[in-house]
């Protein structure tokens, strides 16, 4: 068997179990004695709970436990308030419900049907309150407050320590960034552009809904099987809520049926544990599709962007106000606001900035992390406006981006130095892929779309570009353990959750490459917080970089141990011992690992334990400020066809280029890139949660439209650009989110190029184009 390589495609380790239907996801699991939990949810966007009476539900046949606010508030063993940044959430509503679908009560029963029946027997008297249903209304003076006060803080997050809600308003957080001299920047500009862009709330729509099984032992020991992307954060939160040390909370995570950010931080876990504690037996809760829409969404946003430029295209100044609708609970919205703010300049050098990014409470389901994390929002504005500027100045959008784009060693908006930024390579690669021709882009608006009098066909073609820069969560921690067994096979203990991204395979490759061990001899264990060491989160595109590095360090630790054993047992100086192809080379001989293991332990047995720890900090290796342990860089290019009679458009080709650092598993990289593009297409042209007076009117997969195979463009070209990051394993960086972010603006820019219509409100729909074309016709 060959030693493992990097840069070579391996069949993913999770494939065989998945294509045969054997892979166990949470809803496939049950534990002995398990009951079924169901949740009663608010029918109102905002109401005071005057009375709640669950007596009839408790007496219903089959019911084992019922939870209402009384159980939460009166139990000395429960801290009622929790949340990843602010303690503004409760297991069930206490005084008020704050959005349609807010949990009010929960029932555990012997069957799911009995639990459902019992929910209907719970009597709740509500006093409806005025609701704030969008950011504009929420910010008006005298607006109804979603939270009269917010408890601070519960966060252990160093990057959010300074962040606080503004008392007496619905402002959950306000992130500010000022750079240079904004007044002078605008004064020196030849032209100033001011536009407002919007994006709607969307939903992750993983096919596996949130689910949880919880069991509480009489001594207080809590075991939870969870569909979570960050089991260690959930462990901390549960330990705080149920007032036990983290060692008493065990989180087990099976394969996830997709996450995309929608499974970070506590979701259904606290209510399931509360039910299990009350029921004194295990409880399983599996959310319905509709309930998922009430649980977490992506932030809708309104972005006002004012940009000053010189006539040669140099961007001098930008003022930007971002309002993110965070819904009824802060969740991780404060960090989303921060990331949106940091990237409001895009991947461009802009010396004068005034950026204000707000997350705002409204009476809607909470918004949190979604693949792209605030940058999807800011990039929609940044990249759309780049093309508005390019068209006005008659500059090729490609040239405008290359002129202002970051180079290696430039300063980011936080004044830190950017390293390993393959921005221009990415932009050029996608432009080449779709056949970008400079002269085509320079044609005047008069000959675009309707103006093209000589063209008899109603179909117009256009091309568009977009780029982006994004940070990863910093500081953060990943720890890994690699065990070498007596036969020299490896077991990898890592807290990274396999949710489809192929992490198991890449981690095995890294350990295998480091020690020269074949893939077939490596096992990556499942995630169980009792077994694997700490990892902050499987999100923020961080696992390959952080956990990959931790696994690499753990493998190197094993190598050092082997070296010391050989030095001692074979009496060879350390510097004469080398490693190659999974063997240990001495001046006179070559040893197998298993021989060395036998020599060390004196029999067929024993274990070597390698330890790897990665912690990133807000200061880099040079002592400079570090907002991000590494930078994601990507560009996208779209070619579209628009029918100017109907507004109907087709995506003909999409190219995406991502600076991956190093493609460890090339097919896995291409999968992440092409997959993110499909998600981006959904966000660009289909997806939108629709509300009517705070009621969701499409919380199902018929009315909330997802892209299907038929919506895929004929060609997606995923291009991996490799600018190695010195701190990543073998130079690799994270890639999970990058390709998604440029999709919507690239398509919008291509549509403008085709027909002169500028769409500023996502999603891009044929009817919006049609109406704009009608306006053009006059």
Give the nearer residue to another protein in terms of CB position, either 324 or 719.
Answer: 719
Give the nearer residue to another protein in terms of CB position, either 287 or 773.
Answer: 287
- Separate counts of helices (H) and strands (E) for the chain: 20, 33
Question: What tokens appear for 522 in the block?
Answer: 């490596």
Indicate which single residue of 716, 748, 769, 773 sits in contact with another protein (rule: CB under 8 A).
Answer: 716
Question: Segment near another protein (CB under 8 A), from 203-211, 298-306, 569-577, 629-637?
Answer: 203-211
The answer to whether 587 touches 572, Cβ cutoff 8 Å, is yes
Give the nearer residue to another protein in terms of CB position, either 15 or 190.
Answer: 15
Give the nearer residue to another protein in terms of CB position, either 678 or 755.
Answer: 678
- The DSSP code for 617 is -
Indicate which single residue of 81, 255, 370, 632 sits in contact with another protein (rule: CB under 8 A).
Answer: 255
Rounded to 5 degrees, φ, ψ at 588 are: -100, -20
Indicate which single residue of 260, 593, 730, 752 sits in contact with another protein (rule: CB under 8 A).
Answer: 260
Question: What tokens appear for 588 in the block?
Answer: 């006179």
- Alpha-carbon span 487 to 485, nearest angstrom: 6
The footprint of another protein on residues 496-525 (CB under 8 A) is 499-502
Does 702 help bind another protein (rule: CB under 8 A)? yes
Give the nearer residue to another protein in terms of CB position, either 46 or 670.
Answer: 670
Q: Comparing C-alpha atoms, which of 718, 775, 755 is closest to residue 640?
A: 755
Does 111 help bind another protein (rule: CB under 8 A)? no
Does 225 help bind another protein (rule: CB under 8 A)? no
The footprint of another protein on residues 279-308 (CB under 8 A) is 288-289
The answer to whether 425 touches 433, Cβ cutoff 8 Å, is no
Does 28 help bind another protein (rule: CB under 8 A)? yes
The answer to whether 251 touches 231, Cβ cutoff 8 Å, is yes
CB of 203 to another protein, least distance (A): 11
Does 11 help bind another protein (rule: CB under 8 A)? yes
CB of 718 to another protein, least distance (A): 8
Q: Half-sphere exposure of residue 527, counting CA atoms within 13 Å on the CB side?
A: 32
Does 22 help bind another protein (rule: CB under 8 A)? yes
CB of 13 to another protein, least distance (A): 11
Q: Which residues contact 709 (CB under 8 A, 6 or more apart)?
A: none
The footprint of another protein on residues 731-750 (CB under 8 A) is none
Largest CA distance in the chain: 91
Question: Segment near another protein (CB under 8 A), from 21-29, 294-302, 620-628, 642-650?
Answer: 21-29
Tell the residue number behind the tokens 């004044």, with chain if given.
415
- Alpha-carbon span 25 to 259, nearest angstrom: 13
Contact characters 145-184, another protein, x per CB under 8 A: ----------------------------------------
Contact characters 82-101, another protein, x per CB under 8 A: --------------------
The answer to whether 306 touches 194, Cβ cutoff 8 Å, is yes
Strand-pair partners of 459: 643
Give the SS3 label for residue 323. strand
CB of 709 to another protein, least distance (A): 5
Reduce the secondary structure of 158-209 to three states and give it as a string: HHHCCCCCCCCCCEEEEEEEEECCHHHHHHCCCEEEEEEEEECCECCCCCCC
Indicate which single residue of 282, 548, 668, 745 sits in contact with another protein (rule: CB under 8 A).
Answer: 668
CA–CA distance from 372 to each of 36, 396, 459 (Å)?
Answer: 35, 27, 33
The footprint of another protein on residues 516-575 (CB under 8 A) is none
Indicate which single residue of 129, 177, 246, 706 sits in contact with another protein (rule: CB under 8 A).
Answer: 706
Give the SS3 label for residue 84. coil
Strand-pair partners of 468: 634
CB of 350 to another protein, least distance (A): 32
Indicate which single residue of 710, 775, 777, 778 sits in contact with another protein (rule: CB under 8 A).
Answer: 710
| # residues contacting another protein (CB under 8 A) | 53
CB atoms under 10 Å from CB of 194, counted, come to 12
Indicate which single residue of 375, 676, 696, 764 sits in contact with another protein (rule: CB under 8 A).
Answer: 676
Give the nearer residue to another protein in terms of CB position, either 238 or 519.
Answer: 519
Give the nearer residue to another protein in terms of CB position, either 18 or 615.
Answer: 18
Indicate which single residue of 707, 742, 745, 756 sits in contact with another protein (rule: CB under 8 A).
Answer: 707
CB atoms under 10 Å from CB of 103, counted, come to 22
Does 354 help bind another protein (rule: CB under 8 A)? no
Question: Segment near another protein (CB under 8 A), from 255-263, 352-360, 410-418, 451-459?
Answer: 255-263
Answer positive or negative: Cα dihedral of 100, 103, 107, 112: positive
CA–CA distance from 168 to each of 87, 160, 227, 322 (Å)?
Answer: 17, 21, 36, 20
Q: Please give the residue ranges that form the binding site for another protein (CB under 8 A).
A: 11-12, 14-16, 18-25, 27-28, 204-209, 255-260, 288-289, 499-502, 667-668, 670-671, 674-679, 700-702, 706-710, 712, 716
């Amino acid at each position: 068997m060959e030693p493992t390589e990097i840069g070579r495609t391996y069949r993913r380790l999770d494939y065989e179990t998945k294509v045969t239907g054997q892979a166990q996801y949470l809803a496939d699991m049950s534990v002995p004695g398990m009951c079924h939990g169901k949740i009663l949810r608010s029918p109102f966007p905002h109401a005071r709970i005057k009375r709640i009476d669950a007596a009839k539900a408790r007496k219903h046949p089959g019911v084992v436990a019922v939870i209402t606010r009384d159980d939460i508030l009166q139990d000395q063993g429960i801290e009622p308030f929790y949340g990843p940044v602010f303690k503004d959430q409760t297991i069930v509503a206490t005084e008020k419900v704050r959005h349609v679908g807010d949990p009010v009560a929960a029932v555990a029963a012997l069957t799911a049907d009995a639990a459902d029946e019992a929910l209907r027997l719970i009597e709740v008297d509500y006093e409806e309150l005025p609701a704030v249903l969008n950011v504009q209304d929420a910010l008006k003076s005298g607006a109804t407050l979603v939270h009269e006060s917010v408890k601070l803080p519960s966060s252990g997050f160093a990057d959010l320590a300074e962040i606080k809600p503004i008392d007496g308003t619905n402002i959950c957080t306000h992130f500010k960034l000022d750079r240079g001299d904004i007044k002078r920047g605008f004064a020196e500009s030849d032209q100033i552009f001011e536009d407002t862009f919007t994006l709607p709330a969307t939903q992750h729509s993983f096919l596996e809904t949130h689910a949880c099984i919880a069991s509480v032992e009489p001594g207080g020991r809590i075991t939870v099987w969870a569909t979570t992307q960050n089991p260690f954060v959930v462990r901390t939160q549960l330990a705080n809520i149920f007032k036990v040390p983290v060692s008493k909370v065990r989180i087990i995570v099976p394969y996830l049926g997709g996450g995309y950010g929608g499974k970070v931080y506590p979701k259904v876990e606290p209510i399931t544990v509360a039910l299990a504690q009350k029921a004194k037996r295990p409880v399983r809760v599996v959310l319905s599709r509709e309930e998922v829409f009430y649980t977490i969404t992506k932030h809708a946003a309104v972005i006002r962007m004012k940009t000053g430029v010189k006539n040669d295209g140099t961007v001098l100044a930008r003022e930007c106000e971002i309002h993110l609708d965070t819904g009824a609970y802060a969740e991780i919205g404060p960090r989303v606001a921060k990331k949106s703010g940091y990237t409001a300049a895009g991947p461009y050098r802009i010396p004068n900035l005034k950026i204000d990014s707000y997350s705002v409470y409204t009476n809607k389901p909470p918004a949190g992390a979604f693949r792209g994390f605030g940058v999807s929002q800011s990039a929609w504005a940044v990249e759309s406006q780049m093309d508005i500027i390019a068209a006005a100045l008659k500059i090729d959008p490609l040239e405008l981006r290359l002129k202002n784009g970051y180079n290696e060693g430039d300063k980011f908006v936080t004044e830190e130095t950017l390293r390993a930024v393959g921005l221009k390579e990415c932009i050029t690669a996608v432009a080449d892929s779709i056949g970008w021709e400079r002269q085509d882009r320079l044609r005047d608006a008069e000959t675009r779309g309707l103006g093209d009098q000589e063209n008899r066909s109603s179909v117009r073609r256009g091309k568009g570009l977009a780029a982006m820069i994004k940070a990863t969560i910093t500081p953060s921690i990943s720890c890994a353990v690699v065990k070498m067994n007596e036969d020299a096979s490896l077991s990898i203990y890592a807290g990274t959750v396999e949710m489809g991204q192929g992490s198991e395979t890449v981690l095995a490759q890294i350990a295998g490459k480091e020690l020269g061990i074949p893939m077939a001899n490596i096992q990556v264990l499942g995630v169980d917080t009792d077994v694997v060491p700490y990892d902050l989160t499987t999100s923020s595109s961080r696992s390959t970089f952080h956990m990959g590095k931790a696994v690499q360090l753990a493998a190197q630790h094993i190598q050092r141990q082997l070296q010391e054993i050989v030095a001692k047992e074979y009496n060879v100086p350390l510097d004469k011992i080398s490693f190659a192809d999974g063997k240990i080379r001495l001046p006179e001989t070559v040893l197998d690992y298993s021989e060395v293991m036998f020599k060390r332990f004196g029999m067929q047995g024993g274990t070597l334990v390698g330890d790897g720890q990665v912690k990133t900090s807000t200061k880099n290796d040079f002592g400079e400020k570090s907002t991000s342990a590494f930078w994601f860089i990507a560009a996208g290019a779209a070619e579209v066809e628009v029918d100017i009679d109907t507004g109907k458009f087709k995506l003909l080709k999409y190219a995406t280029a991502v600076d991956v650092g190093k493609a460890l598993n090339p097919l896995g990289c291409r999968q992440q890139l092409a997959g993110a593009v499909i998600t981006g297409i959904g966000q660009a042209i289909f997806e939108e949660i629709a509300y009517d007076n705070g009621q969701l009117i499409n919380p199902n997969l018929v009315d909330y439209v997802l892209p299907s195979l038929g919506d895929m463009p004929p060609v997606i070209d995923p291009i991996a650009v490799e600018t190695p990051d010195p701190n990543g394993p073998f130079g690799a960086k994270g890639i999970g989110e990058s390709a998604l972010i440029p999709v919507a603006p690239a398509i919008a820019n291509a549509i403008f190029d085709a027909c002169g219509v500028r769409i500023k409100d996502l999603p891009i729909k044929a009817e919006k184009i049609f109406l704009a074309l009608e306006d053009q016709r006059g």
